[in-house]
């Protein structure tokens, strides 16, 4: 099995594998990753060109993120996942990268621990519904950018500037903001992803979140990935009946980050870039 660059024509095969695993993944994400950090995205191919697995990675200013590690069911147990992972990991171990992030399933975490990754939080996948009687998913239109103060909240939360990721995720959705926090409503198939979502306090977060639910049509499914250590987020999401349907361990390797989960209410992507 050969580890080779992830290509544009690999997106469709990846999405088929992801669908089998009930992953939330959309083509835009891979178009973004391949246009901004192609050297960190890989596919495992047999000599006849058949793909068996994929991984992506992305670099911010001083940190990186590994995501989308997947291997076809019939090819598991052969070391392919580890080869893909190490290819991405080694690409991110470059000058200027202090910390590397990823989210891990219970079964996947032993592999990452082997390479020095440490658990720092749990990211909970939650699902609820929109509540806007007259809202429409068609209202989700991009074009609004974050203010400097809002981008700074995100930077304080993650200990790094994530300008490219924020630009693409906020730009493709609808942005609600108030200067001390923001939430983006991103289209996700027939559903809506709530995130990136950061706020300096729980009052700001609750106002933004309620406005977001009112801007999504009643009955439309909403997803959010939120850190379990943000107790204010947990309480708010429980009150709003946004139920936990799964979780992964948030891990890092390298320098311990200035991670402030109390500022993070929703991640920007569903596990691939933070």
Token representation of residue 252: 């890092």
CATH number at residue 189: 3.40.630.90
Domain count for the chain, please give it. Answer: 2
Residue 67: give the domain boundaries: 2-97
Instruction: Quick: pLDDT tens for 198-223.
Output: 999 999 999 999 999 999 999 999 99
Non-local CB neighbours of 211 within 8 Å, separated by 6+ positions: 176, 183
135/92 same-domain check: no
Peptide bond into 196 cis (omega under 30): yes
Indicate the average pLDDT of the chain. Answer: 92
pLDDT of 42 above 70: yes
CATH number at residue 33: 3.40.630.30
For 77: left if phi > 0, alpha if psi spans -120 to 50, otherwise beta; the answer is left
pLDDT of 35 above 90: yes
Instruction: Quick: pLDDT tens for 52-87.
Output: 999 999 999 999 999 999 998 788 888 999 999 999
Q: Decide: helix, strand or coil at residue 107.
A: coil
What percent of the chain is predicted at pLDDT more than 90? 77
134/23 same-domain check: no
* Mean pLDDT of all residues in 123-129: 97
Partners of 3 in beta bridges: 44
Q: Would you say residue 113 lies in a domain?
A: no
pLDDT of 142 above 80: no
40/154 same-domain check: no
Q: Would you say residue 118 lies in a domain?
A: no
- Tell which residue, 208, 230, 246, has the closest CA to residue 24: 246
Q: Provide the Cα torsion 257, 258, 262, 263; round to 10°.
A: -100
Instruction: Quick: pLDDT tens for 223-259.
Output: 999 999 999 999 999 999 999 999 999 999 999 999 9
- Tell which residue, 155, 116, 92, 69, has the closest CA to residue 251: 116
């Amino acid at each position: 099995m050969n580890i080779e660059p992830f290509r544009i024509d690999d997106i469709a095969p990846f999405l088929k594998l992801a669908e089998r695993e009930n992953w939330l993944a959309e083509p835009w994400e891979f178009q973004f990753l391949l246009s901004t950090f192609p050297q960190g995205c890989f596919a495992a191919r047999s000599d006849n060109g058949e793909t068996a697995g994929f991984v992506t990675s992305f670099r911010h200013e001083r940190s990186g993120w590994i995501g989308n590690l997947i291997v076809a069911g019939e090819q598991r147990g052969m070391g392919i996942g580890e080869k893909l992972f190490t290819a991405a990991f080694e690409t991110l171990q470059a000058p200027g990268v202090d910390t590397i992030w990823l989210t891990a399933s219970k079964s996947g975490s032993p592999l990452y621990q082997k390479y020095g990754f440490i658990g720092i939080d749990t990211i909970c996948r939650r699902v609820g519904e929109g509540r806007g009687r007259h809202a429409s998913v068609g209202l989700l239109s991009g074009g609004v950018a974050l203010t400097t103060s809002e981008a700074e909240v995100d930077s304080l939360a993650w200990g790094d500037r994530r300008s490219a990721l924020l630009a693409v995720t906020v730009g493709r959705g609808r942005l609600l903001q108030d200067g001390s926090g923001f939430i983006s409503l991103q289209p996700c198939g027939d559903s809506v992803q709530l995130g990136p979502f950061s706020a300096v306090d729980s009052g700001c977060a609750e106002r933004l979140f309620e406005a977001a639910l009112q801007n999504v049509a009643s009955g439309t499914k909403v997803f959010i990935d939120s850190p379990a250590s943000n107790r204010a987020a947990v309480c708010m999401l429980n009150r709003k009946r946004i139920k936990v349907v799964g979780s992964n361990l948030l891990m890092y390797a390298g320098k311990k980050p200035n991670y402030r989960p109390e500022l993070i209410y929703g991640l920007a992507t569903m596990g691939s870039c933070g």
